[in-house]
Amino acid sequence: MPVSKEELEARRIPSQQRAAYVNQMVAQAFAPHQNTFQQRVQAVVSGNSSSKTKMYKLQQIMSDVRVFSAPYSACKEGCSNCCHMRVLISQTEANAIGEAIGVKAAQLPLGTPVKEEDDFGRNTPCTFLSADKCSIYANRPVQCRNYINIDVDPLLCSYENWDLAKKRDPASVGIPMLGAAPIMSAYQMVSNGKAEVYNDIRKFFPGGI
């Protein structure tokens, strides 16, 4: 059933209230573990292992962090709308994923154009999406591990809401999510900072698996 503007509007305030509540609950649950996680992130960045190994460690840290938000997640098996969005990853992570799954990642030259987020939609599935499931789930990118809707259900991930957002229609309602700044800044460091190629996952793996 297509989602109507009225349904979206009715969710606007409750989703904001829910986001504030969930952020508080997750922060409380996470607080006793914060130092340990900070040390893990720092150890990855300053360690001597290869960038590929560092990337695997960051992927795992992101999954471990997101365990704290799992009880509040609207993401359910069978919903793959976010797998139709742009999935921006670095060449370093693409190489690491490629090695893990046995598919060589394309080596993109610096300056390779990146499609706008608005170019993505219901007809642009990730090349690793198969029957609405991730075919490389254990090796999925950091960004996919981080993308968790903390609303009560996936209504705001609907394509109708997404279409409105692409048209800059004020009827669209933002998806409540949690931040992950320390891990993402470590990601950039492991990915060689600004000298790195970033692009959509489809560009690195046009044929999927």
Smallest separation, CB 24 to ligand SF4 (Å): 28
Contact indicator for 82, 190 with CB cutoff of 8 Å: no
Shortest distance, position 97 Cβ to ligand SF4, whole Å:
8
Distance of closest approach, residue 26 Cβ to ligand SF4, in angstroms: 21
User: What three-state secondary structure class fits 168?
Assistant: coil
User: Among residues 11 and 200, whose Cβ is nearest to ligand SF4?
Assistant: 200
Half-sphere exposure of 98 (CA within 13 A, CB side): 19
Q: Residue 11 or 145: which CB sits closer to ligand SF4?
A: 145
What minimum distance in Å lies between the beta carbon of 31 and ligand SF4? 29
Pairing of strands 198-200, 129-130: unpaired
Closest approach of ligand SF4 to the CB of residue 203, in Å: 13
Cβ distance to ligand SF4 smaller for residue 23 or 73: 73
Q: How many CB atoms lie within 10 A of CB 206?
A: 9
CB-nearer residue toward ligand SF4: 51 or 124: 124
Residues that bind ligand SF4 (CB under 6 A): 83, 87, 126, 128-129, 134, 136, 140-141, 144, 201
Nearer of residues 11 and 140 to ligand SF4, judged by Cβ? 140
- Of residues 11 and 69, the one with the C-beta less far from ligand SF4: 69
Nearest alpha-carbon partner for 200 in 84, 100, 122: 84
- Rounded least distance, CB 126 to ligand SF4, Å: 3
Supply 98's token pair: 């490629």
- Identity of the residue numbered 83: C
Q: Which of 65, 57, 59, 71 is nearest to 36 (CA)?
A: 65
Residue 133 phi/psi, 5° resolution?
Answer: -130, 150
Determine contact, residues 188/181, Cβ cutoff 8 Å.
Answer: no
